[in-house]
Each structure stands twice: as structure tokens, then as C-alpha cells.
Amino acid sequence: MLESLKREGVDLIFGLPGGAVLPIYDALYDFEGIRHVLVRQEAAAGHAAEGYSRTTGRVGVCLVTSGPAATNLVTALQDALMDSIPLVAFTGQVPTHLIGNDAFQEADNVGITRSATKHNFLVKDGDDLAGTIKEAFFLAKSGRPGPVHVDLPKDILVKEWDFDYPSTVHLRSYNPTYEGHPGQIKKAARALVRAKRPVLYVGGGAISADAAPELRELAELTEIPVTQTLMGLGAFPMAHPLSLDMLGMHGTYYANMAVHHSDVLMAVGARFDDRVTGRVDAFSPNAQIIHVDIDPSSISKNIPVAIPIVGDCKRVLVKLLEAVREELKSYPAGAIREARRQWTEQIAEWRRDQPLRYEWSEDVIKPQYVMEELSTLTNGEAFMVTGVGQHQMWAAQYYRFKHPRMWCTSGGLGTMGYGLPTAMGVQAGNPGRLVVNVDGDGSFQMNSQELATCHEERLPVKTVIINNGGHGMVRQWQKIIYKERFCAIDLGPSPDFVKLAEAYGCTGIRATKPSDVVPALEKMISTPGPVVVDVWVDKHECVFPMVPAGGANTDMIVAPPSREVRDRAAKSQTGF
């Protein structure tokens, strides 16, 4: 089995041993060429593999034992499924003759992971093992990428079998479409060139397909502004004049306004998630929508699409660029820029009226300020990972992303505790690089045990805890929508994160006032080994802009709402 992994180019496994996978660990003892990173909880192995995969573009691999280990892993699998991260996850299983007997540490692993994976396998015969591993890797990385789970009963691991690793895979039932339909591409090119108010809306699929260079070329060629989803951040440099930054629930005002008023909206590797669209019937009502996606089921799922193009984002964009150049031949040079001028001015006005902003305070640290300083100090060149919650949104809003595959966040599933283990995987896959995990005090505590892994495995992850003493995003919703009836959100002053870090052998730093922030971050960056910076921020700070759930993107609240608005919100079921 390890030989099969090596043939797939695997050099790193995140795992945790147990009874059913002991034969593999026994083989690992003197097997050369594969590093094993021992995590402290199985979900962390899955998240670490996600981080490794997202930042290196390779398939992430994790290995855990049967029963509770497999069920712990499920969260990471579902997370990878929703964010289309290619993983191959191995779990142990009781010997085949005991399956179904309620044996010790038995669970119906494939039954449980069926809906949390792209596909899964139970290997019942040692002879099938190599072929199954080949198929698993093929499925994970081809088409719309995703997690594949392979369940390995103990007896097939100890049986001797002839090793014959297949060189190719053919599945008659699985033929993803990579090349976009030429007719559709031509139609799309025409629509883009003729559009008066076009917008490109780019998601994580553009990153999976490594389509960032083509995307930039297209945007510049056609002078089309680009907005990115949470998963797509980094696909287009934020410093670029055409960048509208993030859209959606906590996206920028100008991005949401531009999308709303667009006449042609082209989605690239994005899936019209409810956090992007807001109320679907009010989303981009006058736009002709072009949708490029490798997954046909993403097209017209939430929003009807006028020009669907099923295919790999990179290959489609290459063809689309050709088609656009062809189309542009009939226009005089500079005509495009001229035609877009009114639109560009309108967007500039929105940007001027409602930029991302927060109120500065001399006494208490504003979380947005921490992100700005972090972005400046790292020059946008750090690998960024987040947990889930307010800090995640502030990181997405205020970090100035430059490159693709340098941002890992749990977009679809919103898994709290994702930050630290994922950052560990990123660090393992990118030795010597700066990896920053921006976490919340709630989110961090869901996987803080992995500080031990960081220390033991020499993974110098830098964690910045945006510590507001509670579940900030829940507090925000209770404040704005539930009449300030705060319930079950306070996490109190414990633990002392500096002492916690030190207990694990890491370095702890605390920042309690605005003037502490820069020195603390500088020290964090210059200190070798894993570091935790505990930043005490204003606990009342909310993430704005905000589109309330069930609202249209034009219902965006750009600043703390007045009492009248809140009263009105309280009267409706969905708020606002």
C-alpha cells in the first residue's frame, strides 16, 4: 500500500495510528520516502491534508484507524467536499469476517462517509488494493476535485498479494468534461465584449484549475472588473485597479453593487452560494449570466444561467481569450475602454462612497486594524489560514491577497477549528515559508491541542487569535437581529492563551492595546517555532458590510444599524 502511495507521488501523510491500521504503521517504520505527521485528533489530519493540498496543488493524504477515528474524520471530509479540495483519506476497518458484527472500534465507515465524499471504497480483497488506490487518486484530482475515502479492513492489510500497480484508470461511468463547448465560448466572448456593465465573479474553482494568469489576462484585455468569492481570494490580485474585492454577505459594497447592476455577469469556478447571492430572485436581476464550471450540477442550480460552459476553468479561459481577441478585431483600439468608462466611473463612485472602513480607537484594539497591519508586515506574501467566524471575514476583507493558493479557509462548511490543523498542513507542504493562522478564541479552542503537533513536528505556524472573549459572529447576529438577547456566547477570560502556548512548548505573546499590535506581530514573525499571539480586541465590533440572511444584496447594511432598523428587523422572521 505504501508503495502505491509512493507511485502516486505522495511524500507526506497526516495520521494517527490505531488497532486496525497497525499493519500500515508497521510498514511505515522502515519505509523510506514518506513523511508521517502525527496529529493529536483525527479531524486535524483531514484538515492538515486540506491545507497541504490547497497550497501545493497536490492530493492531500490522511490515514486514521477504524471506528471513532473514522467518525472524527468525517467533518474534514465534508469540509473538503464543499470546498472541492482533493484528498484521499484512508481509514482502518475491522477484519472482513467481523464486519457487521459490532466488533471493537467498528463503524460503518463507508456508510457514514458516503454523502461526505466525492466517492468512497471498501476494499474487500487485497488484490483490489492497488487498483482502488489508483482510482481514488484519479477521482480525487480529476473533474471537480474532492475527497475520496478508502476503507481498509485489517485482514487485507496483512495478506500477501502480488503488487501490480496499474498505470492508467478508465472508468466508463466517469468522464468529466474539460474542454468548453466552442459555440458557447464564442457566445460568451461576444456577450463580454458587447457588455456595457460587465463583472467577472471568480470562485475557488479558478484556483483549483490554476486559472489565475488567464483570468487576469481576460480582465485586462476586456477591462472587466473582478470580484472574488471567499474561496476565490487570491485568484486576482487585490491591488489591481480592476479588483472589486470580495462579494456576498460580508463582501464590499462596491462589489455587491457592481454585481447587482451588471448587464453581463460571468462566473468562473463559483457556484452561486447563498452567502454570495443573498435572496436569489433579487440577485443580479438584469444580467445575462455566463457560468464556467467543471461541474454541470453547479450550473443553473441556484440561479438560471444564460450561457453555461461546462469545462476546466483554465482551458475554457484560454479558448475564451482567443475568441475575445477575434471578437475585438472588429473594434477600434481603445474602444473597449471608452465603452466601459461610464461603468468604471460608477464603480469608482461606489468605492468612494462606501469603502471598507471601521472606527479607529485609541483605547481598544480594532480587529480590522490587526488584519491591516498583518497584511502590511507580510506584504501580502504570507500563507493565510483562518478559523470560522468574524475574524475569518475580517481577514478576507482586510488582507491584501496577491497570489492564488495562499489562502485556506473553510468556505462551504464553515468548520470552526479548521485554522490551526490546516495551517499545520500548509506549513508541512511549504517548509520555510511564513504561515499565519488567524483564528478566533472560540474557533481556536476547537483544535488547540494541535499546538503539540506544531511543536513536536517542528511546524512553525504563527497563530493570531482575535480574542473577543466569545462567539463573536453569534453575538453579532444576536445584537443586530435578536434584539440584543445575548445567549450562550461568552467564553470568559480563560484560558490564558499565552500560558497555553507555553504549556505546549510554543511561544505566547499578548497584545491588549493598539500600540501593542505591530510590535507583537513583528515579534511573532521573527520568533522561530510556533507562536501564538493573543490579541484582545473590541468585543462589540461587528463585521460590516453585512447582507442579512434572506435579504437581497442591495439590502446591505454598511454601518451599525439604527434602532428603528433593528426594530423593523425584529418584526420579521428572517430579519430586515
Residue of 1, 14, 41, 42 with catalytic role: 42
Phi-psi region of 575 (alpha: psi -120 to 50; beta: other; left: phi over 0): left
* Residue 154: active-site member: yes
Q: Is 172 among the residues that bind another protein (CB under 8 A)?
A: yes
Residue 473 known to be catalytic: yes
Which listed range, 300-308, 392-400, 455-463, 556-564, lies at the site for another protein (CB under 8 A)? 300-308
Q: Which amino acid is at 73?
A: L
Cβ at position 114, least distance to another protein in Å = 6
**C-beta closer to another protein: residue 173 or 573:** 173
**Which of 3, 6, 31, 105 is labelled catalytic?**
105
What is the number of H-type helices and E-type strands within the chain?
24, 18
Q: Hey, is 500 helix, strand or coil?
A: helix
The tally of CA atoms less than 13 A away on the side-chain side of residue 504 is: 26
* Residues whose CB falls within 8 Å of the CB of residue 119, separated by 6 or more in sequence, listed in order: 136, 139, 148, 149
Q: How far is the CB of 122 from another protein (least distance, A)?
A: 8
The dihedrals phi and psi of 285, each to the nearest 5 degrees, come to: -65, -30
Nearer CB in complex with another protein: 123/268: 123
Which is nearer to another protein, 46 or 308 (by Cβ)? 308
Q: Which DSSP letter does residue 433 get?
A: S
Residue 266 Cβ, how far from another protein at the closest point, in Å? 21
- 155 CB neighbour count, 10 Å cutoff: 18
Under rule CB under 8 A, residue 173 binds another protein: yes
- Residue closer to another protein by CB (options 143, 514) is 143
Of 104, 159, 220, 456, catalytic: 104
Asked whether position 379 contacts another protein by CB under 8 A, the answer is no
Cβ atoms of residues 467 and 443 within 8 Å? no
Residue 113 or 476 having the CB closest to another protein: 113
What are the CA-CA distances from residue 160 to residues 32, 125, 156, 157, 205 (Å)? 20, 11, 8, 8, 41
Q: Which stretch binds another protein (CB under 8 A): 11-19, 296-304, 378-386, 426-434?
A: 296-304
Which candidate in 371, 473, 546, 556 is catalytic? 473
Nearer to another protein, 171 or 503 (CB): 171
**What are 560-568's contacts with CB under 8 Å, separation 24+?**
561/480, 566/480, 566/481, 566/483
Instruction: Kindly tell me which of 110 and 306 has the beta carbon lying closer to another protein.
Output: 110
Contact 77, 411 (CB under 8 A): no
Q: Is 238 a catalytic residue?
A: no
Establish whether 104 is a catalytic residue. Answer: yes
Q: Which is nearer to another protein, 308 or 508 (CB)?
A: 308
CA distance 380 to 402: 6
What is the nearest approach in angstroms of another protein to the Cβ of residue 115? 5
Q: Of residues 154, 186, 366, 479, which has the active-site annotation?
A: 154
Using the minimum distance from each CB to another protein, give the nearer residue, 297 or 515.
297
Instruction: For residue 187, give the H/E element and its range.
Output: helix 182-194
194 Cβ contact partners less than 8 Å away, ≥ 6 residues apart: 264
Work out how close the CB of 552 gets to another protein at its nearest, in angstroms, rounded to a whole number: 16
How many residues bind another protein (CB under 8 A)? The answer is 19
Cell 484594539 belongs to which residue?
365
Comparing CB distances to another protein, the nearer of 151 and 441 is 151
Residue 102-141 contact track with another protein, rule CB under 8 A, x = bound? --------xx--xx--xx--x----------------x--
**Whether residue 105 lies in the annotated active site:** yes
Considering beta carbons, is residue 11 or 128 the nearer one to another protein?
A: 128
Torsion of CA 490, 493, 497, 503, to 10 degrees: -120
Q: Which positions ≥6 away from 345 have C-beta within 8 Å? A: none
What is the closest distance, in whole angstroms, from the C-beta atom of residue 297 to another protein in the complex? 4
Contact 51, 405 (CB under 8 A): no
Bond before 495 cis per omega within 30 degrees: yes
The span from the first CA to the last CA of the chain, in angstroms, equals 56
One-letter amino acid of 354:
Q
Burial 180-195, CB ≥16 within 10 A → b, else e:
bbeebbbbbbebbbeb
Taking the complex as a whole, the smallest distance from the CB of residue 128 to another protein amounts, in Å, to: 12
Q: Which of residues 388-417 bind another protein (CB under 8 A)?
A: none
Q: Which of 27, 171, 503, 565 binds another protein (CB under 8 A)?
A: 171
Please report how close the Cβ of residue 346 comes to another protein at its closest, in angstroms: 30
Q: Which amino acid is at 191?
A: A
Q: Binder to another protein among 223, 274, 295, 502 (CB under 8 A)?
A: 295
**Is residue 174 involved in binding another protein (CB under 8 A)?**
yes
* Residues 229-288 interacting with another protein (rule: CB under 8 A): 280
Q: Is 306 in the site for another protein (CB under 8 A)?
A: no
User: SS3 for 31-60, per residue?
Assistant: CCCCEEEECCCHHHHHHHHHHHHHHHCCCE
Q: Least distance in Å: CB of 81 to another protein?
A: 12
In the complex, the smallest distance separating the C-beta of residue 75 from another protein, rounded to whole angstroms, is 16
- Measure the CA–CA gap between 90 and 137, rounded to whole angstroms: 12
Query: Tell me, what amino acid is at 277?
Result: T
Pick from 100, 285, 304, 493 the residue near another protein by CB under 8 A: 304
From the CB of 139, what's the least distance to another protein, in Å?
Answer: 6
**CA 185, CA 191: separation in Å to the nearest integer?**
10
* Catalytic residue positions, numbered: 42, 104-105, 154, 473
Q: Which residues bind another protein (CB under 8 A)?
A: 110-111, 114-115, 118-119, 122, 139, 171-174, 280, 295-297, 300-301, 304
